[in-house]
Amino acid sequence: MRTVTVPGLARGLGFTALFAAFPFVFTESWVVNIGIFTVMYAALATAWNVLGGFSGYLSLGNAAFFGMGAYGEAILFQHISIGSGYRPFWVLPLIGLGVAVAVLPVAWVAVRTRAATFAIVTISMLFIAQQLAFNLHSLTNGAQGLVMPLPPFPNTTFERPFYLAMVAVLALSVLLSWYVATGRLGLMLFAIRDDEDRARGLGVHTTYAKLFAVAISAGLTAMAGGVWAYYIGFIYPQFAVDPLVTIGAVLMAFLGGRGTIWGPTLGALILVPAQQYLAFSEGASELYLVAYAAIFLGVMLLMPRGILPSIADLVAARRSSNGAHRADGPRAEMPEAVT
Amino acid sequence: MSAVLEVDRLTKRFGGVAAVDGCSLAVAEGTVTALIGPNGSGKTTLFNLITGYLRADSGAVAFAGKRVRRPEPTALCRRGLTRTFQQARVFGSLTLVQNMVAAVQQPRRSAFRQAVSRGDRERAVGLLEEFGLARLAGARADQLSFGQRKLLEFATVLMGRPRLVLLDEPTSGVNPVMVETMERHIRELRGRGLTLLVVEHSMPTVMRLCDPVIVLDHGSKIAEGPPAAVQHDPAVLDAYLGT
């Protein structure tokens, strides 16, 4: 069994409780709306990190998984009643599992490539998925899109169930992320990130590890897509399979610290509210995009490996200067340092 | 002694250049066999072909009596054939213990088990101790010196309990003390029954450690035999000195 440390457990439970309490403290709709997108991006960035952060395979196609989840949810509830409004949330694990399995054949081809080629293959995958959404009229209703049934939630707390569903997806993402990072699979992925050829020569099943990571990443991303579809209500190809969704998630993971457990969440907590606030304060001038980029560049200049690894480096440097060197102790970039 | 590795007329061309040209050789079980030759004679390419990092144009490789139809590094390692690289390659962001444990042969279903089990850790630390690296067990591998990385790379391949290890220039770029350490380990491992095929440029090391010695030139074997005999072989002298 894995060792669950008391600080680690406290951190996990504490963050989950804080996130869950948010809509009960801040009840205004627009605030909870920002909360939903912040938590959604935290989940997306954490899901991306399982592949892109742990194995170093920079996937730019995760929005395709997001769209698959969104369309999966929307198509399903064209035929099934949403009941009291909570049924679409209960099917999310099935949607995640379905997408995780469905992407494996394509992923098997994609993971045969590396580095920039992999990034290009995955972004091509994204645009193929978008084109399919535009053209498979009988399934997706093409450019007209799909409409999700309106849930019968009270107006005053309408956002709350969506928010809590997103928190559940985030909690699952962080938990799975931790479970992968502290297991053999994590070790295999880190070895692949550092030197894949060497890992192959040491008997590591690299293809198997990468496929596992893709499946986990895709499944979690699809679940977030499912909640998003239900919340937004109108599903169009250009928004359901949007490259900006992937780019946002990647930026957040880089900012917080890719390859760490909490880094992507931290990145989302900084970037999404900043983006929303700047969009609000700068209005239609779109200057907010410049300010948004400036925040990102500023942090990356000061902390090129992301916030959490930089902090971990500082702590490690301080510890080693004090002469403390535990055998097999935490290292700067490994997730143990931040779990 | 039976051959643990047999290479039969292996050929690899890069454009018009034959890096390995119809090369045949056999490595007997329990020996430390040297593979030497001038720069560009095809030693590392041959290693890459044997271990599946490169696909041969023609020829065959047999390991432990069975022909390897499609050499692939992971599968070969799991059968007991592994290697080190000319430039020491370690997993820089992992600790030394994690580097070692990454090389433990595990079944696929173990993917969700704990990364470093108690048994694996004990074995890893034991091996690190043999190589004088135990005090650095918790340090990141990218903090090691080049010589220490060479030692770590060597120790790591042993975690998989191999039958044959291909060492690519184990003593190049390391200080004399480290060379002596490396030689001692190779001798000890031979004593425990491990077979080693060693590419090495340092002739004193080859003379002290290896028997037999195989000499390559222009991708083909030009001589094979005990070190003393090979040293005076006219073909070898010609290849090295160009006389």
Q: What angle do CA A42, A71, A30 make, to 5 degrees?
A: 45
φ and ψ at A315, to 5 degrees? -65, -45
Q: What per-residue confidence (pLDDT) applies to A333?
A: 41
pLDDT higher than 90, residue A226: yes
Amino acid found at B130? E
Give me the CATH topology for the region B3-89+163-180+190-241.
Rossmann fold (3.40.50)
Structural domain of A92: 6-338
Alpha-carbon gap, residue A99 to A70, rounded angstroms: 11
Which residues of A touch chain B, with CB atoms under 8 Å apart? 1-2, 179-180, 182-188, 190-191, 193-195, 197-206, 208-209, 212, 259, 325-329, 331-334
3-class state of residue B39 by DSSP? coil
Contact at CB, A328 and B78, closer than 8 angstroms: no
pLDDT higher than 60, residue A289: yes
User: A24: domain CATH number?
Assistant: 1.10.3470
Average pLDDT of the residues of chain B: 93
Contact at CB, A194 and B113, closer than 8 angstroms: no
Q: Do the Cβ atoms of A217 and A128 come closer than 8 Å?
A: no
* ipTM of predicted complex: 0.92
Q: Do the Cβ atoms of A74 and A227 come closer than 8 Å?
A: no
pLDDT higher than 70, residue A59: yes
Residue A155 Cα, gap to closest chain B Cα (Å): 43
Size of interface A-B (CB pairs under 8 A): 122
pLDDT per position as a tens digit, A62-80: 999 999 999 999 999 999 9
pLDDT per position as a tens digit, A131-147: 999 999 999 999 999 99
pLDDT per position as a tens digit, B135-178: 999 999 999 999 999 999 999 999 999 999 999 999 988 888 88
Which of A183, A203, A325 is nearest residue B138 as measured by Cβ atoms? A325
Do the domain assignments include residue A1? no
Give one DSSP letter per residue of B111-166, joined into a string: GGSBSS-HHHHHHHHHHHHHTT-GGGTTSBGGGS-HHHHHHHHHHHHHTT--SEEE
pLDDT per position as a tens digit, B182-200: 999 999 999 999 999 999 9
Number of domains in chain A: 1
pLDDT per position as a tens digit, B92-132: 999 999 999 999 987 777 888 888 889 999 999 999 999 99
Contact at CB, B77 and A202, closer than 8 angstroms: yes
Picking from A187, A334, A336 by the largest number of B CB atoms within 10 A of its own CB, the best residue to mutate is A187
Q: What per-residue confidence (pLDDT) applies to A275?
A: 85
Alpha-carbon gap, residue B209 to B203, rounded angstroms: 10
pLDDT higher than 50, residue B60: yes
φ and ψ at A89, to 5 degrees? -75, -35
pLDDT higher than 80, residue A232: yes
pLDDT higher than 70, residue A331: no
Which neighbouring-strand residues pair with B83?
A: B166
**Residue B53 touches partner A, C-beta closer than 8 Å:** yes
Q: Would you tell me how many other CB atoms lie within 10 Å of the CB of residue A72?
A: 23
Return the residue of B nearest to A196 by Cα.
B91
- In chain B, residues 81-140 whose CB comes closer than 8 Å to chain A: 82-83, 85, 89-95, 97-98, 101-103, 105-106, 108, 110-116, 121, 125, 137-140
Return the residue of A nearest to B140 by Cα.
A331
Contact at CB, B94 and A208, closer than 8 angstroms: no
